[in-house]
Structures are given as C-alpha cells and as structure tokens.
Amino acid sequence: MILTVRDLEVTFRVGPWFNRQPILAVAGVSFDVDAGETFALVGESGSGKTTLAHAINGLQDISRGEMAFMSQRIETSSPGEMKPLRRHMAMMFQDPVGSLSPRMKVGDLVVEPFRIHGIQANLQEEARRLLSLVGLSGDFSDRYPHQLSGGQARRVGVARAIALNPKLIIADEPTAGLDVSVQGEVLNLLNDLRERLGLAMIIITHNLHVVHHVADRMAVMYLGRIVEAGETEEMFRAPAHPYTATLLSANPEPDPDKARNRISLPAEVPSLLARPPGCEFHTRCPWAQARCARETPYTENGRKRHVACHTPLAPGARPPATRSIQ
Amino acid sequence: MFGVVLVLLMIGGAVFADLLVAAEPNRISPRDRFQGPSLAHLMGTDQLGRDLFSRVLHGGRIALSVALISIAASLVIGVVLGLIAGYGPRWLDNLMILLFDAIKSFPTVMLALALVTLFGPSLTAVMVVVVLVNVPGYARIIRTQTLALKSAQFVTAAQSMGAGTARVLRAHVLPNVIGPLLILASMDIPVVIAIEAGMSFLGLGVRPPTPSWGAILNDGFTAIRDTPWIAIAGGLPIILTTLGFTFLGETLRDVFDPRLKARG
Amino acid sequence: MNVLGIRNLNVTFGTEGGPLRALRNVSFDVPRHRIVGVVGESGCGKSTLINAILGLLADNGQVESGQILFEERDLTQMDSLEMQAMRGSRISTVFQDPMGALNPVISVGKQMLHIQYRSDLGRTEKNARSVEMLRRVRIPDPKSALSRYPHEFSGGMKQRIAIAMAMMMEPVLLIADEPTTALDATLEVATIELLQELQAQIGCSVLFISHHLGVIAELCDDVVVMYAGEVVERGTTRQIFHDPLHPYTERLLRCDPAGQSTRTRHLPTIPGEIPDLRDPPKGCIFADRCDRRETICETAPPEVEMGGHRACCHRVKP
C-alpha cells in the first residue's frame, strides 16, 4: 500500500470574524491506494474531492484523521519532512495552462522539480527527454505557456509530474477544458506512463466516462463523504448506492435512440452549512424511507466494496413511483 | 529602442564627462559671462562665465546617480516588503499596510525638512527622502499582486512540488509582479531628478558650486528674457531624461510580459 | 419555414499575421419549433457564429459576405439600433457562465422587471409574470426569490434563472451557448430537460451550441458539425449520430469515451492540429488529419446532399 487515508476531516471557517461558521468540506474519508493502481475519486462540485487531494499533498491543513504515504505520516510532517515526500508524489491541477508559471519557458517548467529538489542533472537533456516522453518535440522548450493549446499545456503538466519518477500522481480533472479528441490523447498518455513507470494514480473527476476507461477502483463522494467505493467495473455494472446509480444514469451518451431510464433527482444539493440529518442523501434520494432521515448509514472503512446506504440497490433497480417520505 | 539609446547617451555623457569637454565645470571666468552657444561653449556660459555644457554633463552625474541609487534602493526594499506583506500571514500584512500608510501620510516637503534638520543638507538626505517616499507605493503594488497570485494554480503547483517559500517567491511570484513596478520605477527616475533639483534650489540638497540640473535651471530663470540658453541647458537634459526613461519603461514592459510581445 | 437562415456566411478577423478567416461559407437553417445543435471543438468558430448572429463581433471582425436571415430579414444589413431591439426580445441568449447574464448588484426581481420594459403591463402584473417564469424553471419559493441577489443562488439555480430571463419575452429564437458546460452531470441533465420543456411550451426555436456530443444527441432535432470555421456536415440528429458521412464527424463520435460501452485502456484520438486559419488549405479543410485522404482532397469538396443530410467530402457519393 502506497497511500492510506483514515477518517480524514477538513474544516473551513467561513463568515465574518464575529460569526465564524465551521464547514466540514471533507467529512471522515478513508481509502487506500496500492502501488501501480489507478484510483478514481468521483463527485460533483462541492463534494470535497479537490480539497481531499490538497490535504493528501499537505497543501491543506486537516482537522482530524491520519494519512500515510510510503509509510510516513503526512499530517504530522513538518514542511521540511514533507519536501522529500513530495518528490514521490506529483500533482496535476485542473487548469492546464493556469498551473504553469506564465513567465517560465516550457523547458524550465518541466525541469522545475530537479531545481526544487537540488538534483544534479543535465537539465537541457532532461527537458528534451521528458518532452519526448509526452510526445512533444524539443522545439517546445522555448515556448511560453500562453503559446500552448490546452492539450499541449496538459502534456507539459504530465511531463513535469513524471520528472522525478514519482510513486504517485494525483491528477485533478486531467481532462477538464480539453476537446474530446484531445481528451483521449491525455488519458492514453497517462495510461501508458502508468504502465511503463509503474506509478500509482489518483484521478479526481466528475466525468464518469473517463473513470470507466482508466480507473481500477473508484470511490463516489457526496458532501465530503465517500458513499460508495469498489472495483470500477463492478460499480458500473451494479451501482449499489442510489447516488452512484443516479450519477451513472445522468451521463448523456452520444446516441439519440438510447433508452435513457434516467433517475431524476428532486432537489438541489444541500448546503454544507446545513447538512441533513441521518443519511445526507435522503433529501434527494428517490428510494428514501423514514429511517433514512433519522439514522446515519454505517460506513465501513475497508478496502473492499462498501456502500453507505440502509437499503443498497439490487442491480438494475428502478426508483419507486412515489417517494415514501417527503 | 529609442528610450534605451537616449538613456545610454545620458549615462555615457555623465560617466565620460571629463573626456568629452575640456572646460572645468566650476571654473569661474567673469570675462566670459552670458555667452551664447558657440564652438568653444556648446551650450553657452552662465552668469559666472562657467561652461554650461560641462556643467550639464557633470550635473548629470549627480542627477543620475542620485536617481538610480535611490530608485534601486526603493525597488529592493519595496519588493521585499511587498512580497512579505502579500505572501505572509494576515496580521503581518495588516501591520505593514498600517506602516506604509503612516509614512505616506507625511508631506514630502515636511519629511525633507525634518531630515535635513536632523542630518544637515547633503545628497544622502535627498536619497533617503526619495526612498522613504517611494517604498510604500512600490511595496503596495507588489503586495496587491502577490496577494492575487498567492492562490494562483501555478503557485499551488510549485508548493505541491516541494518548493519552499523563498523559491516560490523568487521563481514564480516575482517574475509575474515585477514588470509593472519596473515600468513605474523607470518613469519615476525623472521625478527623482526633479526632487533633487528642487531640493538643491531650496538649499537642502547639493550645495553650490557643485553642478546640478536643477541649479542651472534656476539660474536660467532669473535671466530667461536676455539669455534663454541657460534655462534651456538646465531644462533640456531633464526633458530628454524624462522621455528616455519613459520609453525605456515601455521597452521593459515588452520584455517582461511575453504575452504582450506575442500580440505584437 | 425557417426562423434563421445562414447563407454563405464569411467572417474575417484582422490580425497581425494577416486576415484570419474564422468562418468560411457557413450555411444552415434553424426551422421553426426545432432545436438545432452546433457541435465542434475549440477553434471551430462556434463563438464567432453566435457573435455574428447577434451583431456583436469584435472590432477587428467583419462579415465579409453572406446573409443571416432572421424572419426573412438580413441581420447583417441592420443598423445597431435595430439589432439592439432584436436582441433580448426576438432573439435571446443563454451563456455558459450564468453570472455573465445576471447583474450581481441588482435583485433578481428588478432584473426581471428591466427585461420587460417594452411591455405595457403594470408593475404588479410584470412581477406576477416573473414569479410564474421562475416557477416554470423550478426555482423553489419563486416569490421570495425576486428580492434575492444572484450570489444567493447555487450555480444550477443561477443558470435556470438566466434561462427564465431569456425566455421571459417569449423569443422566437433562443441561442444557448454551452449552457450546461459549467454544470455537474445531474444538473446538466436537469437543464436539458428544462430547455426541452420550455421550448415546447413557448414554441420557439433553439440554436444550441456545445462540444458535448451526449448533450447534443439528447436535446437536438438537427445537428450542424463545424470544423475549423466550416460546416462539414449537417442533418437530423439520427443521421449525424447513426450514419455520419464526414470523416471528421465519424472520428469525433468515436473519440467520445461515452461512446465506448466496453472498457478500453486505449481511447481513439484525432492526431494533428486544426489548420492555421490565416492560411487555410486550398482543398478539404480536414485533409491534413484525415486517414482516408486521396489526391482529390487537395481540391475543395462540394457539398453533397442525400435526403436532407449534407456533407462536404469527396468520398460521399449521392
């Protein structure tokens, strides 16, 4: 196991100083990532997935829980102790162009990790090697980020992420803002590199189609909690949590004649400032029963498939015609 | 490019003043007073018969060195303080902003008089005044931009790679915030020259007979109807320097912002 | 009957490197009561097309030739005052970012009143219409929503308010520019369903711009496929998605990971870049990246029609 996360909580404080309100952005998340495996964190905006990624990298203070990367605790590490860990844990951020320093040339950007960690190397040669690994010619060394297309900037981000042969890459929405034809290129590249370099990956996304093709295991997040986790194929075949089933059915597919069988959700996402009691999904869940509004479903913190629901769905379940609670 | 040439000419003239003119700037020759421009005296002579071209070139030494040194000092101090205020903790930021505002609220002339009263009139006093006047503004510019970049994705990316505060500030923040300030600073150089001239006139800066553009200009004013070349000799370098550094500022902007250059 | 007819539209931008031909011979129709989708990737000219229709091209942009016929009148010939009267009443727009349409410092109710300034109704009636419209886009407690400000609503609700405002004056044509791109999957679906419902109720036509093939397939009646400033294929949604004629359409559909029902580690892509529009190729615009390129592709392909399904490719034989 390369990364373990246990009962992780991140709290933000919002509002004016006389009325600070705590917001639980990540509310007790546990999962493991094995060496060489791809793990996907799926959820809609506000589900806490980016905050979670920042916490793993030590960019975000946590309020509770434990994290260990390569058997070293993250949350208790000082900045000095974090630095060697970060050498083995690379991050890719949402905005492909915005995550590159605008006044630095591509050639300098990709070898930035060498400079940060004071590693002696022929930097020009390394830049060329890294760029060719991601399929960019050496000419790109002299370009500035604003002269790159979204797909090219994303490749530069990938090159920089693999510069020091990390053990783990955390990719936040690696295909956001990319055209469909380019999206595939980036995912193929990540897959190739993962196989060739044997690295583990955490992919954070709201795009389920992407998850299906790249992830070995996945976890679905709702309001900062993991509501269901397991093998990707299994979860696509038989989603057990109503939220997972809804997300899967909400994915528009490029076929006008496809039978939609969509599960529609009655209400908007609740505010993190006013979390619903019981099962937090019950305000929107078509299957919700009286019990769901009172009792919090048990969440198992194991590695195997787990579902935080009182009545997990059978494969292919359809929502009842009327909700049993209002 | 024009700006660079002009600035280089001014600096060259000041540095090589002794080689360029034979006449000594402070040699009084009552017989030659109020002579118009000629081959012997390219810019004419003043009320004491001193060669104006020589005085302008030597005056340039003082004007430019005062301006360059004090602006450079303001830049370094302003950038460091601005980065600390913008990137550091909130309380430090608030404290520093309070300090900047306190300094800024002093009128420049009062500040100058206070310093001269304390330390006596000298070039150092002029430079200290310039630094004190400029630093708060410079620091604020850097601080505002740093604050905006603090949560930029490329800054977070640098932190995620393990870059420490010093490296983040030097390699990722500074190159993105320094451009506008350098432009402003290069355009401030003529202002400093004017301050130096003004203070010299008030007797708070350079003492006579040391040549200074401000002093020449002021000498010229008294006799502007009969001998306009004295005022021209004092004013022309100030105008040229202003133009030169303003154009230099624009060139700098192109160099420091590759995005603007790409657009042509 | 067509609400909107684009005829051989050519739009050029003056740039440092010479004129950039952003739209070239673009032609298509938006028939009454139909939803027409324009699909294409970055740089295909979608935004230029919208701006040209709305008469809002940037200063360096110009309609070189062609017509934009809206209810039989050519929009390219209208002066700015006439265009202004068109926008917001006959033609309305929903953008990707709902905050662009909503003024952050004016309450939702006031903004909805402002839109109705041309109407003769009294204030109370106008407010009643606003409440009715908000109810139709399923804003909870629409009466109190009137006195609230845009930032008090979530992203999905803001987009629905923007849609309510666009539909307020019952436009003849609604232009929707990637309205679901910023939304999550569940909200995206809700927005599609809402647009379908409102379109049926009000009976307007919709020009829906998106790069999301799934959304287009689900929402639209007709589809226009654009590539590098040209329309390469158009037809009904079924024709385009089930029987694509142009190689670009075909490849684009294959690229969408949503189209792959079985799990694959290697996703299809379209290698290459779109051509430089300051110097577009003489022949087929897609030839550079096409894997079925022949010598004839160095000449411009004709538009071939088969039962309303048109494509610009030499390989397509009627």
Residues A234 and A202 in one domain: yes
Whether residue C230 has pLDDT greater than 80? yes
Mean pLDDT over A145-156 rounds to 90
For residue B259, what pLDDT is reported?
Answer: 59
Whether residue B172 has pLDDT greater than 90? yes
Neighbouring chains of C at 3+ CB pairs under 8 Å are A
Mean pLDDT over B92-97 rounds to 93
Residues A158 and A277 in one domain: no
Reported in sequence order, the residue ranges of B23-126 that DSSP labels E, i.e. its strands, are none
Vertex A233: Cα angle to A232 and A235 (nearest 5): 65
CA C252 vs CA A190, C39, C223, C258, C277: distances in Å: 21, 10, 14, 12, 20
Instruction: Print the SS3 string covering C96-139.
Output: CCHHHCCCCCCCHHHHHHHHHHHCCCCHHHHHHHHHHHHHHCCC
Residues in CB range of B109: below 8 A, 6 or more apart = none
Separation CA A123–CA A108 (nearest Å)? 8
Residues A224 and A127 in one domain: no
Chain A residues with CB under 8 Å of C222 CB are none
C174 forms bridges with which residues in the sheet?
C92, C206
- Residue A90: pLDDT band (50, 70, 90) is very high
User: Which domain-ending residue is among A114, A130, A165?
Assistant: A165
pLDDT for C262-272, tens place per residue? Answer: 777 788 888 88
Q: Is A206 on the interface with C (CB under 8 A)?
A: yes
Q: Which of A181, A246, A247 sits opposite C252 (nearest CB)?
A: A181
Buried b (16+ CB within 10 A) or exposed e, A248-269: bbbbbbbbbeeeeebbebeebb
Tokens of A12: 């933000």
A126 found inside a domain: yes
For chain C positions 16-75, those within 8 Å of chain A (CB to CB) are 41-42
Round the average pLDDT of chain B to a whole number and report it: 83
Buried b (16+ CB within 10 A) or exposed e, B194-206: bbbbbbbbeebbb
pTM: 0.84
Residues A271 and A210 in one domain: yes
Mean pLDDT over C76-103 rounds to 86
For residue A300, what pLDDT is reported?
Answer: 61
Q: Where are the domains of chain C?
A: 2-90+173-265, 99-170
Mean pLDDT over C21-35 rounds to 94
Helix then strand then coil, % of chain A, to nearest 5: 30, 20, 45
CATH homologous superfamily of C2-90+173-265 equals P-loop containing nucleotide triphosphate hydrolases (3.40.50.300)
Query: Between chains, do B153 and A98 touch, taking CB under 8 Å as contact?
Result: yes
Cis bond before residue C247 (omega within 30° of 0): no
Tokens of B49: 């018969």
Round the average pLDDT of chain A to a whole number and report it: 88
Query: Between chains, do C189 and A264 touch, taking CB under 8 Å as contact?
Result: yes
For residue B262, what pLDDT is reported?
Answer: 43
Mean pLDDT over B201-216 rounds to 75
The 3-state DSSP class for residue A143 equals coil
pLDDT for B10-67, tens place per residue? Answer: 888 888 877 777 777 777 777 777 777 777 777 777 777 788 888 888 888 888 888 8
For residue B115, what pLDDT is reported?
Answer: 83
**Shortest distance, CA C267 to any CA of chain A (angstroms):** 5
For chain C positions 276-295, those within 8 Å of chain A (CB to CB) are none
Whether residue C149 has pLDDT greater than 60? yes
The highest-level CATH class for domain B2-9+56-252 is mainly alpha
Mean pLDDT over A186-195 rounds to 88
C41 conformational bin, left if phi > 0, alpha if psi -120 to 50, beta if neither: beta
Residues A151 and A294 in one domain: no
Instruction: Print the SS3 string covering chain C.
Output: CEEEEEEEEEEEEEECCEEEEEEEEEEEEEECCCEEEEECCCCCCHHHHHHHHHCCCCCCEEEEEEEEEECCEEHHHCCHHHHHHHECCCEEEECCCHHHCCCCCCCHHHHHHHHHHHCCCCHHHHHHHHHHHHHHCCCCCHHHHCCCCHHHCCHHHHHHHHHHHHHCCCCCEEEEECCCCCCCHHHHHHHHHHHHHHHHHHCCEEEEEECCHHHHHHHCCEEEEEECCEEEEEEEHHHHHHCCCCHHHHHHHHHCHHHCCCCCCCCCCCCCCCCCCCCCCCCCCCHHHCCCCCHHHHCCCCEEEECCEEEECCCCCC
Tell me the one-letter amino acid at B47: Q
Q: Does B107 or A156 have the greater pLDDT score?
A: A156
**Shortest distance, CA B250 to any CA of chain A (angstroms):** 18
User: Which domain-ending residue is among A147, A165, A183?
Assistant: A165
Residue of chain B whose Cα is closest to the Cα of A85: B162
A86 found inside a domain: no
- Residue B3: pLDDT band (50, 70, 90) is confident
Q: Which of B154, B162, B259 sits opposite A87 (nearest CB)?
A: B162
**Shortest distance, CA B180 to any CA of chain A (angstroms):** 14
Q: Where are the domains of chain B?
A: 2-9+56-252
Chain B residues with CB under 8 Å of A57 CB are 160
Residues A212 and A233 in one domain: yes
Domain span at A207: 1-79+166-252+261-326
Q: What is the DSSP letter of B176?
A: H
Of A141-150, B233-242, C161-170, minimum mean pLDDT range: B233-242
Query: Between chains, do C157 and A268 touch, taking CB under 8 Å as contact?
Result: yes
Q: Is C213 on the interface with A (CB under 8 A)?
A: yes
Query: Between chains, do B157 and A113 touch, taking CB under 8 Å as contact?
Result: no
Tokens of C1: 């009957």
C231 forms bridges with which residues in the sheet?
C226
CA C179 vs CA A84, C154, C231: distances in Å: 44, 15, 22
Chain A residues with CB under 8 Å of C257 CB are 183-184, 187, 207, 209-210, 212-213
Query: Between chains, do A146 and B258 touch, taking CB under 8 Å as contact?
Result: yes
- At residue B127, φ and ψ (nearest 5 deg) are -70, -40
- Residue C187: pLDDT band (50, 70, 90) is confident
Tell me the one-letter amino acid at A122: N
**Shortest distance, CA A324 to any CA of chain B (angstroms):** 45
For residue C224, what pLDDT is reported?
Answer: 96
Neighbouring chains of B at 3+ CB pairs under 8 Å are A
Mean pLDDT over A20-27 rounds to 88
Count of CB atoms situated within 10 Å of the CB of A64: 15
Whether residue C7 has pLDDT greater than 90? yes
Chain A residues with CB under 8 Å of B154 CB are 98-102
Give the count of domains, chain A: 2
Query: Between chains, do C217 and A256 touch, taking CB under 8 Å as contact?
Result: yes
Residues A225 and A304 in one domain: yes
A88 found inside a domain: no
Of A199-208, A317-326, C181-190, minimum mean pLDDT range: A317-326
Residue of chain A whose Cα is closest to the Cα of C223: A256
Residues A25 and A155 in one domain: no
For residue A306, what pLDDT is reported?
Answer: 86
Separation CA A48–CA A67 (nearest Å)? 16
For chains A and B, count residue pairs whose Cβ atoms are closer than 8 Å. Answer: 73
Whether residue B261 has pLDDT greater than 60? no
For chain A positions 249-278, those within 8 Å of chain B (CB to CB) are none
Least Cα distance to A122 among A107, A144, A137 occurs for A107
ipTM (interface pTM): 0.86
For chains A and C, count residue pairs whose Cβ atoms are closer than 8 Å. Answer: 121
Helix then strand then coil, % of chain B, to nearest 5: 75, 0, 25
Mean pLDDT over A59-67 rounds to 92
pLDDT for C200-227, tens place per residue? Answer: 998 999 999 998 888 899 999 999 999 9
Residues A101 and A124 in one domain: yes
Q: Which of C188, C211, C263 sits opposite A180 (nearest CB)?
A: C211
Residues in CB range of C69: below 8 A, 6 or more apart = C2, C4, C5, C6, C7, C75
**Shortest distance, CA B175 to any CA of chain A (angstroms):** 6
Pick among B145, B154, B169, B254 to test the A interface (most A CBs inside 10 A)? B154
For residue B263, what pLDDT is reported?
Answer: 40
CA A9 vs CA A229, A299, B43, B113, C127: distances in Å: 18, 15, 78, 59, 45
Chain B residues with CB under 8 Å of A86 CB are 160-162
User: Which domain-ending residue is among A148, A165, A182?
Assistant: A165
Note whether B257 and B179 are within 8 A (CB).
yes
Q: Is A6 on the interface with C (CB under 8 A)?
A: no
- Residue A130: pLDDT band (50, 70, 90) is very high
Query: Between chains, do C41 and A209 touch, taking CB under 8 Å as contact?
Result: no
Residues A222 and A300 in one domain: yes
Q: Does A69 or A305 have the greater pLDDT score?
A: A69
For residue B264, what pLDDT is reported?
Answer: 34
Chain A residues with CB under 8 Å of B157 CB are 91, 93, 99-100
For residue A301, what pLDDT is reported?
Answer: 57
Tokens of C306: 């088969």
Chain B residues with CB under 8 Å of A113 CB are 161-162
Q: Does A119 or C258 have the greater pLDDT score?
A: A119
For residue C140, what pLDDT is reported?
Answer: 81
Whether residue A47 has pLDDT greater than 60? yes
For residue C3, what pLDDT is reported?
Answer: 93
Query: Between chains, do C266 and A256 touch, taking CB under 8 Å as contact?
Result: no
Chain C residues with CB under 8 Å of A181 CB are 41, 251-252, 255, 269-270
Note whether B83 and B174 are within 8 A (CB).
yes
**Shortest distance, CA B168 to any CA of chain A (angstroms):** 10
**Shortest distance, CA C84 to any CA of chain A (angstroms):** 32
Query: Between chains, do C265 and A213 touch, taking CB under 8 Å as contact?
Result: yes
CA C4 vs CA A78, A173, C215: distances in Å: 64, 38, 22
C26 forms bridges with which residues in the sheet?
C9
A84 found inside a domain: no
Whether residue C311 has pLDDT greater than 70? yes
Mean pLDDT over A89-104 rounds to 92
Residues A193 and A153 in one domain: no
Residues A141 and A200 in one domain: no
Tokens 């929402």 sit on residue: C219
Number of H helices, E strands in chain A: 11, 11
